[in-house]
């Protein structure tokens, strides 16, 4: 299989490499002058980090394997502090490197500790889930959670490179793979309508890594993100469009104590954002219907329980896009036409939630 290189431009440009066997490029990314490489990966999945560690040792590096909890449980101050302590014990210097291997939570954490240790050491991301490949590991956004919200503590820190080995997707649990489709579908609505057409052409194929359009969907979504973050790394303007659907999604994750998959929460958030735009008179009914239809066709949720609204609304108040006491929502005026809704009325927000809770 051929390898695709998607360039992420900016002050610190790098490539996202997509294909099979791309792990062979890891030693070159780590580079010369590096003595020790810290490999951060989920403790429950030692098999995903093993080939990474073996590749690095074969290249002559001293490898330190640092297992962390699964999923969002890894993204805490406590786990970050444990990694910082480990970096100190193993003598990780500014000329050494960190490799994050796993899903989006792991790459978020690995990027954050790399960004903050000695004010920044080299990090390479090796995402092994669909969500991490098309979203979390690309773009240089790193972070951890606090009791008050998701990703409120973090840093913009571009990696040296991202290696997406498509072969690893075969072992991803089906529910996790489908959840990752939400971010791909989001990319279709905000920037690349071809993504939507590919999913609609073969919904069953979209749900499996062996689908006819799988690689095209992955590469198109990565390209969407690369184009956006290359122009706006620090979310000063354009990059906010990547948060489409995330204001409610992050609130749902908090209410569920992160027991819901990120992609499932995003899917619900996409429908909510579409309903807000429709009720505000800016988005056609047909686009809202299409949003529900596409998400449902691949098995993603599109509604949430009505009684949760007060708690959800409270969590939405600390959304990263808010300015002062004013909530800002990313919405659509049409497919691939993104805008922002400033300080929407409480009636509008609640009415839109009613539409997804019926």
Catalytic residues: 119, 141, 183, 225, 235, 239, 243, 246, 250, 262
> Is 333 known to sit in a ligand binding site?
no
Structure tokens at 356: 């997804």
221 has binding-site annotation = no
**246 belongs to an annotated ligand binding site:** yes
List the one residue out of 34, 42, 33, 88 whose CA is nearest residue 65.
Answer: 42
Pseudo-torsion of CA 103, 107, 113, 118, nearest 10°?
A: 150
Q: Could you give the CA distance from residue 303 to residue 358 in angstroms, rounded to a whole number? A: 8
Backbone φ and ψ for 152, nearest 5 degrees, come out as -80, -20
Is 106 annotated to bind a ligand? Reply is yes
315 is in an annotated binding site: no
Could you tell me if 162 and 15 are in contact, meaning their C-beta atoms sit under 8 angstroms apart? yes
9 is in an annotated binding site: no
Q: Is 70 annotated as a binding residue?
A: yes
| Cα(19)–Cα(8) distance, integer angstroms | 17
59 annotated ligand-binding residue: no
Are the beta carbons of 245 and 301 closer than 8 angstroms? no
Q: What is d(CA 49, CA 173) in angstroms, rounded to the nearest whole number?
A: 17
Any known ligand binding at 104?
A: yes
Q: Is 213 annotated as a binding residue?
A: no
- Is the CB of residue 354 less than 8 Å from the CB of residue 276? no
Binding positions for NAD(+) are: 70-75, 104-108, 128-129, 141, 150
Binding positions for Zn(2+) are: 183, 246, 262
């Amino acid at each position: 299989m051929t390898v695709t290189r998607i360039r992420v431009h900016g002050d610190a440009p790098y490539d996202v490499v997509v294909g099979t066997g791309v792990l062979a490029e890891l030693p070159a990314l780590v580079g010369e002058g590096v003595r020790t490489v810290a490999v951060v990966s989920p403790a429950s999945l030692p098999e995903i980090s093993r080939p990474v560690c073996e590749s690095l040792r074969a290249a002559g590096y001293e490898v330190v394997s640092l297992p962390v909890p699964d999923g969002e449980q890894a993204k805490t101050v406590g786990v970050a502090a444990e990694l910082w302590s480990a970096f100190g014990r193993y003598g990780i210097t500014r000329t050494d490197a960190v490799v994050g291997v796993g899903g989006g939570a792991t790459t978020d954490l690995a990027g954050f500790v790399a960004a903050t240790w000695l004010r920044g050491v080299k990090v390479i991301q090796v995402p092994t889930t669909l969500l991490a490949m098309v979203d979390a590991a690309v773009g240089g956004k790193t972070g951890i959670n606090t009791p008050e919200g998701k990703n409120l503590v973090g840093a913009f820190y571009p990696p040296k490179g991202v290696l997406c080995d498509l072969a690893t997707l075969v072992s991803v649990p089906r529910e996790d793979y489908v959840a990752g489709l939400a971010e791909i579908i989001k990319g279709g609505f905000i920037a690349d309508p071809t993504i939507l057409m590919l999913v609609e052409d073969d919904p069953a194929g979209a749900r499996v890594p062996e689908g006819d359009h799988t690689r095209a969907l992955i590469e198109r979504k990565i390209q969407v993100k690369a184009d956006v973050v290359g122009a706006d790394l620090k979310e000063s303007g354009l990059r906010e469009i990547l948060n489409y659907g995330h204001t409610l999604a992050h609130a749902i994750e908090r209410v569920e104590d992160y027991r819901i998959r990120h992609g499932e929460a995003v899917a619900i958030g996409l429908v909510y954002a579409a309903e807000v735009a429709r009720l505000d008179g800016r988005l056609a009914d047909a686009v809202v219907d299409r949003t529900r239809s596409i998400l449902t066709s691949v098995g993603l949720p599109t509604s949430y329980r009505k009684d949760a609204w007060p708690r959800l609304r409270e969590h939405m108040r600390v959304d990263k896009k808010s300015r002062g006491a004013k909530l800002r929502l990313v919405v659509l005026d049409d497919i691939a036409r993104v805008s922002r809704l400033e300080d929407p009325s409480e009636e509008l927000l609640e009415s839109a939630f009613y539409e997804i809770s019926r």
